[in-house]
Amino acid sequence: MNANGVGLTAAVFAVVGVGVGLVAAVGMGWAETALATAATGETARFAPVFVAQSYLVATAAALVGAPVLAGVLGVLFGSGAYDVQEAAATSGVGGGLGAVIYGLVVVVLIVASQGEAATQAHGIADALGPLLTTAVVAGVVGAATGALGSVTG
Numbers of helices and strands, H then E, in the chain: 4, 0
The kind and range of the H/E element at 119 are none
> Crossing angle, helix 3-32 and helix 84-112, to 10 degrees?
30
Q: Could you give the C-alpha distances from 151 to 80, 103, 114, 148, in angstroms and in order? A: 10, 30, 45, 5
**Calpha distance 133→9 (Å, rounded):** 18
Reported as a single tens digit per residue, the pLDDT across 59-110 is: 999 999 999 999 999 999 999 888 999 999 999 999 999 999 999 999 999 8
